[in-house]
Amino acid sequence: MTQFQSVGQDAAAGQFSRVLGFLYGLTAYAVFFITILYAIGFVMGLVVPKDIDMGEPASFGEALVVDLALMLLFAVQHSVMARKPFKAWWTQIVPKSVERSTYVLFASLCLLLLFWQWRPMPAIVWHVDDPNIAAAVAAISLFGWVIVFTSTFLINHFELFGLHQVTANLAGRHMPPPRFRAPLYYKFVRHPIYLGFIIAFWAAPIMTAGHLLFAAVTTAYIFVGIFLEERDLTELFGDDYRRYKARVSMLIPWRKSN
């Protein structure tokens, strides 16, 4: 084999690897997109075959243990895989270009497991009887989801969910260094994505015990996530983020920074 043949084979293998990485990232994104659409139906009780108040009947104790375990699994995966030490270790095993896609895929699979194995807790905590008010509350929940989606596009939706990385790798380009920005919603709250989730989870015309458990635990986890994320952002952006944190409220618009 000549040197030119060897170089040509290496180039072909590298291109094949980049194509596989792109297809993997595309698949991970597709799984995420299906999962987030199902999550809307799951929480709001719309269209999906199984929502938060449906599923295999169970005693209160069994439902509580199973549902907490499912949410804990998601929280551990979501937090551990996002930390820098884990990423440093993990990218020795998987290519750096697909690290984010793998994170997104694992998070989506954990959520799909939660939807599948969730045990309903049907006791009614509150129920909005007036149909007009109930429709308004449901609209507020849907507005929360709109905030979630639009917030991701205000920063970089496709980088957040791994497509930008695998596309750049396919084209043989390096990812640009992270740049601190605070567009639109981010001028009023530091974490509009989390704010959108809180609105979506709590604005329920019918609040069952299971839905309340889901909303309460996910909200508590959001505050843990904010603490970890802001620590990483401060380390990444330094004084830019410290000044931003001092100026802009965490979750409540126009409130004094917290």
**Across the chain, what does the average pLDDT equal?**
92
Q: What is the pLDDT of residue 12?
A: 57
Q: Which tokens in the block code for residue 156?
A: 């970089």
Query: Can you give the residue ranges of every domain in the chain?
Result: 3-247
| pLDDT of res. 255 | 72
β-bridge partners, 227: none
* pLDDT for the residue numbered 258: 64
For the chain, which ranges sit under pLDDT 50?
4-7
Residue ranges of E strands in the chain: 124-127, 206-208
As a whole number of angstroms, the distance between CA 173 and CA 167 comes to 9
Burial code (b: 16+ CB inside 10 Å, e: under 16) for 48-85 equals: beebbbebeebeeeebbebbeebbeebbebbeebbeee
Q: What is the pLDDT of residues 58-117, one digit of tens each?
A: 899 999 999 999 999 999 999 999 988 999 999 999 999 999 999 999 999 999 999 999
206 close to 127: Cβ distance less than 8 angstroms: yes
Task: Give the pLDDT score at 13.
Answer: 61
Query: For residues 168 and 139, what is the distance between their CA atoms, to the nearest angstrom?
Result: 38
What are the CA-CA distances from residue 19 to residues 99, 147, 161, 168 (Å)?
A: 15, 33, 18, 11
| pLDDT tens digits, one per residue of 165-179 | 999 999 989 888 889
DSSP string, 144-177: HHHHHHHHHHHS-HHHHTTHHHHHHHHTT-PPPP
State residue 57's pLDDT score. Answer: 86
User: Helices 163-170 and 3-44: crossing angle, nearest 10°?
Assistant: 160
Contacts with 173 (C-beta within 8 Å, 6 or more apart), sequence order: none
The token duo for 185 is 């919603």
What pLDDT is recorded for position 7? 44
Phi and psi, residue 173, nearest 5°:
-105, 155
Q: Residue 213: CB partners within 8 Å, gap ≥ 6?
A: 64, 67, 68, 121
Q: What is the pTM of this model?
A: 0.91
Residue 4 pLDDT: 44
| pLDDT computed for residue 49 by the predictor | 95
Side-chain half-sphere exposure of 7, counting CA atoms within 13 A: 3
Q: What is the pLDDT of residue 15?
A: 83
